[in-house]
Amino acid sequence: MSTSVKSILELPIMQENSRLLTNTGENNDVQFVTVMESPDFRLASLGEHIFVLTTLSAHHSSLEEINSIVRGLCEVKIAAIGIKIGRYIKCIDESTIQIANDHNVALIELDNNVYFREILRETLSVITGNQRLNLIRINDVNKALIDSILQNRTIQDFLNLLCAQIDCYCCCNDQSGKKIAEASSLRLDYDTKKVDNAIKHYFENFSEKDKSIYQEENIIISPCIVQEKRLATICIVTFEVQIDLVYLFTQSIINGISIKFLEKNLQVQAERELEFSILNDILFSKNSNAEVIADRLDLLNFTLYENKLMVILSRLDSKNDKFGFYSTVDNLKKIFTAQFGSAIAFKRKNEHVILVSHETISNANSLKDRLYLCKSAISRTERGKFDLGCSTSVTELTKIPECYDQAKKAIKFGRQIDTDEHLYLYDDYFELGLISCGIGSSDANMFFQRIVNPIQEYDKKFNSELWSTLEISLIQDRLELIASTLHIHISTLRYRLQKIETITGYNYFKTNDRLTLYLAYLLYKVSNVSKQ
């Protein structure tokens, strides 16, 4: 129960000896009453919820000085000013009343025959009594909250408990902003669109580790922080005058909801650790027993269709991982299951790994279409840029670890060759995978010694462009198109290709020699990928 200026004016001593001069400030909350008579009284020591009593004994020499001190009191946002008349000032000027009205501060005229000590005794008695009642209310809420936690009550029950204590609307949103419970005891209409926009603004502008409370007029949004991360928020709409009491009740409810989310978080964490342990064993151990792999996947409710493949989501900027660990994993599982039949996901370092099981897909284009649909769905729910790498499909469970390697290589090769694509299938780069097996061998070194190194050394020495010319020539088919891409005359192109033959001994225009040059080019590209 709060103590307002209005409730103080209803005290017998105030009804007999005071008169409210302003048309604002009656609902201001009062937590303390003090007297200002000293000429060196410090306004900075005051604040909200203070009721100041004064005769203006030190500031009555002129109306300008009176208005100056009243304005100073109003600017530190006190609740009310009570000025005794008849001793130092005869009446309160209209300009002084207007200053108080402009600042929403109650200005009260006090009779000369009333003693400040009597007002202090009566008002402070009411204030302390109300504060005692508030403490009792908060204590009762905390007791009810503890009982609810022990009885494993729902978040909805916690919100109902809050609404039973204050006149409000409240809702709880999970870490993605989705509403999971709401309750209301509000007797006044409120702007639902404004509330939705405030919640949206909060999630767009406050990080998951931000503990700040956001307030927009009569809308309060507070985070539920669990293990240093925001797992939920509470939004409250209230017209309560005593906002500090609202904060206290809200914090009690938040503590209870945080415990509920902590319980859920620990349970999910245990389940995810089991999933990670099982998948990690399947992917990165030498276990070759198909029955054991099948049994372990069955524990994860993973349906084994004829074909299995692996997809890796690799973020280009880990700072844009908007949602938490569990949210993204669950989201990926849902998206890929919808397109393929069965999927399970887990996080490993800066990548998410998705194991997919599906019936036979008719052709490579159909597979790519489904992956594009998955990529679009991920883009709608996850912030930040990312690449997807997909392996070939296998039927044998013991080949799953190879799928992981293929998906990794698909991303590596794709980023090197098709930078702007962001969806890479190992099927499109399998020849690079084969060539990569020869990196570091004596045969690979011969390719570098005979072709790559001589061309690049010539370019460096004479500032020429033979290597880039060879690269474009191996990608394009027609000489006219190659020359156009390089912005050179076709005779200049022929001269460069002949120079490459002079340096390496391989003629671009002969089929076998061109194949050798192409293998050298691919080996160079794959070697650079392996160094990254």
HEC assignment per residue over 197-226? HHHHHHHHHCCCCCCCCEEECCEEEEEEEE
Structure tokens that stand for 358 in this block:
């599906």
pLDDT for 499 equals 92
Averaged pLDDT of the chain: 83
Among 3-17, 23-37, 479-493, where is mean pLDDT lowest?
A: 23-37
Q: CA 415, 421, 422 angle in degrees (round to 5)? A: 65
Largest CA distance in the chain: 118
Identify the CA nearest to 114 among candidates 14, 232, 229: 14
Whether residue 386 has pLDDT greater than 70: yes
CATH architecture classification, 287-428 = 2-Layer Sandwich (3.30)
Fold equal for 152-264 and 436-531: no
Structure tokens that stand for 464 in this block:
């020429």
* Beta-ladder partners of 33: 51
In degrees and rounded to multiples of 5, residue 309 shows phi and psi of -145, 170
pLDDT tens track for 49-105: 888 888 888 788 889 989 998 998 888 888 899 999 988 888 999 999 999 999 999
Residues 6+ apart with CB under 8 A from 392: 309, 403, 406, 426, 427, 430
Mean pLDDT, to the nearest integer, of 483-503? Answer: 92
The answer to whether the CB of 141 falls within 8 A of the CB of 165 is yes
Whether residue 22 has pLDDT greater than 80: yes
The answer to whether the CB of 312 falls within 8 A of the CB of 408 is yes
Burial class from Cβ neighbours inside 10 Å (0-12, 13-18, 19+) for residue 324 reads: middle
pLDDT for 530 equals 52
Angle between helices 325-340 and 364-381 (to 10 degrees): 150
- Every domain of the chain and the residues it spans: 5-127, 152-264, 287-428, 436-531
CA pair distance 481, 496, nearest whole angstrom: 15
Among 124-133, 234-243, 414-423, where is mean pLDDT lowest?
A: 124-133
Q: Which comes out higher in pLDDT, residue 148 or 299?
A: 299
Name the fold adopted by 436-531.
Arc Repressor Mutant, subunit A (1.10.10)
Neighbouring CB atoms inside 10 A of 71's CB total: 15
R_g (Cα) of the chain, nearest Å: 38
The answer to whether the CB of 323 falls within 8 A of the CB of 384 is no
The confidence band for 324, taking pLDDT boundaries of 50, 70 and 90, is very low
Q: Record the pTM.
A: 0.49
Q: Which comes out higher in pLDDT, residue 138 or 198?
A: 198
Select, from the ranges 199-203, 266-270, 435-439, the one with the highest average predicted confidence (pLDDT). 199-203
Whether residue 216 has pLDDT greater than 50: yes
| Residues above pLDDT 70, as percent of the chain | 86
| Residues above pLDDT 90, as percent of the chain | 26
Mean pLDDT, to the nearest integer, of 92-119? Answer: 90
pLDDT for 4 equals 84
Mean pLDDT, to the nearest integer, of 493-511? Answer: 92
Give the torsion sign (CA, 426, 429, 433, 434): positive
Going by DSSP bridges, is the β-strand pair 106-110/18-20 parallel, antiparallel, or unpaired?
A: antiparallel
pLDDT for 322 equals 44
Whether residue 1 has pLDDT greater than 80: no
The confidence band for 275, taking pLDDT boundaries of 50, 70 and 90, is confident
The answer to whether the CB of 356 falls within 8 A of the CB of 309 is yes
Calculate the alpha carbon distances from 338 to 314, 361, 371, 512 in Å. 21, 14, 11, 47
Among 166-170, 266-270, 527-531, where is mean pLDDT lowest?
A: 527-531
The answer to whether the CB of 254 falls within 8 A of the CB of 234 is yes
Going by DSSP bridges, is the β-strand pair 80-84/50-54 parallel, antiparallel, or unpaired?
A: parallel
Select, from the ranges 39-43, 162-166, 371-375, 471-475, the one with the highest average predicted confidence (pLDDT). 371-375
Name the fold adopted by 5-127.
3.40.1390
Residues 6+ apart with CB under 8 A from 4: 26, 27, 28, 29, 30, 241
pLDDT for 373 equals 93
pLDDT for 212 equals 83
Q: Which comes out higher in pLDDT, residue 319 or 342?
A: 342
pLDDT for 310 equals 93
CA pair distance 335, 49, nearest whole angstrom: 54
The confidence band for 321, taking pLDDT boundaries of 50, 70 and 90, is very low
pLDDT tens track for 155-167: 888 888 888 877 8
Whether residue 126 has pLDDT greater than 90: no
Domain 152-264 class?
A: alpha beta
CA pair distance 314, 367, nearest whole angstrom: 19
